[in-house]
């Protein structure tokens, strides 16, 4: 499990808007990364969650057949791009969604935020990320 890395990020199409990212490692380390503007200093929060929680999250990736999902794009010039990546050490899988709702993606995004809110309660309170 230590080699597992999970990533969830949101990137706006608007010029100058910052990034919102969640990183989770298989050893339980978590990191929140936020820039409010593309040129602003990042706000970074580190934390930890129990390793068994990460195992359950990886099992959810498996049950949602994450490695089989396809990119979903709807032409919308104002839509933000959201990306989820799963790195298993020897393989990496990534899916991005732009302007679409993909149920499997939404369940995984929600689970990532829920698990990270254990280490960072400000996520579930909606006080850290403005749009993620």
Query: In which domain, by residue range, is 76 found?
Result: 5-119
For residue 9, being part of any structural domain is answered with yes
For residue 132, being part of any structural domain is answered with no
CATH number of domain containing 45: 3.30.1560.10
For residue 124, being part of any structural domain is answered with no
Which whole number is the average pLDDT over 34-63?
A: 90
* 82, 69 contact by CB (below 8 A): no
- Axis crossing angle, helix 51-63 with helix 103-119, rounded to the nearest 10: 180
Retrieve residue 9's tokens. Answer: 């990020």
Cα angle at 114 between 123 and 38, to 5 degrees? 40
For residue 93, being part of any structural domain is answered with yes
The pTM of this model reads 0.87
For residue 129, being part of any structural domain is answered with no
For residue 20, being part of any structural domain is answered with yes
% of the chain at pLDDT higher than 70: 90
> Total structural domains in the chain?
1
């Amino acid at each position: 499990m230590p080699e597992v890395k999970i990533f969830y990020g949101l990137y706006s199409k608007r010029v100058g808007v910052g990034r919102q990212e969640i990183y989770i490692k298989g050893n339980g380390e978590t990191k929140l990364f936020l820039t409010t503007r593309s040129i602003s200093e990042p706000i970074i929060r580190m934390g930890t969650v129990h390793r068994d929680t990460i195992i359950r999250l990886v099992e959810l990736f498996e049950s949602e057949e994450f490695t089989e999902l396809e990119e979903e794009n709807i032409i919308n010039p104002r839509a933000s791009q959201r990306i989820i990546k799963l790195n298993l050490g020897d393989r990496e899988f990534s899916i991005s969604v732009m302007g679409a709702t993909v149920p499997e993606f939404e369940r995984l995004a929600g689970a990532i935020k829920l698990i990270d809110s254990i280490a960072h309660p400000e996520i579930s309170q909606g006080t850290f990320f403005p749009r993620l």
